[in-house]
Structure 1
Amino acid sequence: MAEKEIALLKTQIARLDEKKFDLEAWKNHTEIFLERIFGKDSPKLKMIHNLHYDYSSWSLRDTYAGGSTKDKDPVRIQAKEILGAIITELETLGLPRGKQEKLKMKELLDDELTGRQVKEIDTLLSSDDPEKTEKVAKILETIPVENLAATIAKLLTS
């Protein structure tokens, strides 16, 4: 399942209750996590990005008139609802399909490669190098054919 991802998002929900809450900093952290979990084009990422305070005088008066602002803060309430829905989705459906397969493949390759090779591949995958596919292939060529066949078989049967 997606325990680590859920734990990250629950931490972000807890940060919404901090006394010195900074919306922009919170959004930046949350967007980094959501991009890693769901990808750059996720509508969930856009929902967090679009959170903002409405500084019109009527809005402020109605929201903050008497009482704790934290409990009535519409941005914090909306942020909690969004992250709550995402957590429910992850608990119910798990990680997006492509993510699960990628993680499984990475896990299996980690068993066959040295730590240095794994770091090289990670660096290449996150780079904009136009030749990254060829460079990753070159690293994978070092895996003996019988181990590669066993790795592919494990991937197909899992």
Structure 2
Amino acid sequence: MAEKEITLLKEQIARLDDKKFDLEAWKNRTIIFLERIFGKENSKIKMIQNLHYDYSSWSLRDTFAGGSAKDKDPVRIQAKEILDAVISELESLGLPQQKHEKLKIKELLEDELTGKQVKELETILNSGEQEKEEKIQEILESLEKENLASIISKLLTS
């Protein structure tokens, strides 16, 4: 599961209550974590980037008039809700990149291998054999150097 990621995000939620809260610094730190977890082009990152104070708003004046500002601060409330949703997603569904990386590798191999080789690999991977690694290595060794070089370069650049 994603315990480390969840811990980082919970720390970010706790930082929302800091007395010297700096929204821009908090956003930057949060975006760094979310990019690592979900990738650079993710809607959650855009939501965090869009958090801002509307200084021309009467509601901002009303929010900070009386009572604790952090309890009524709409930006902090929204930030907390976003991170709570992200944490729930990670707890329920796990890390998204694990599935994505496996699918990407499979696609790259399908591009470079013959249909027969792909079927052989799938059979080996789905079997309960203990010599999986050796059998996969045999299939890959049978490939020409150009195919192996292409597979490796695509893996490194994707």
Identify which of 130, 144, 149 aligns with 2:133.
149
With normalisation by structure 1, the TM-score equals 0.63
With normalisation by structure 2, the TM-score equals 0.63
Structure 1 moving runs of 4+ over 6 Å:
none
Query: In angstroms, what is the RMSD of aligned CA positions?
Result: 2.4
Which structure has the larger Rg? Answer: 2
- For structure 1, the residue ranges without an aligned partner over 5 or more in a row are 104-146, 154-158
Aligned AA (2:86) = I
Partner residue in 1 for 2:29: 29
Cα shift at 1:5: 0.4
SS at match of 1:52: coil
SS at match of 1:21: coil
Partner residue in 1 for 2:98: 99
Counterpart check, 1:5 vs 2:14: no
Partner residue in 2 for 1:110: none
Q: Whole-Å Cα distance in 1 between the matches of residues 59 and 34 of structure 2?
A: 29
Partner residue in 2 for 1:80: 80
SS at match of 1:53: coil
Q: Whole-Å Cα distance in 2 between the matches of residues 64 and 6 of structure 1?
A: 31
Count of aligned pairs: 109
Cα shift at 1:59: 2.3
Give the share of equivalent positions with the same residue, in percent: 74
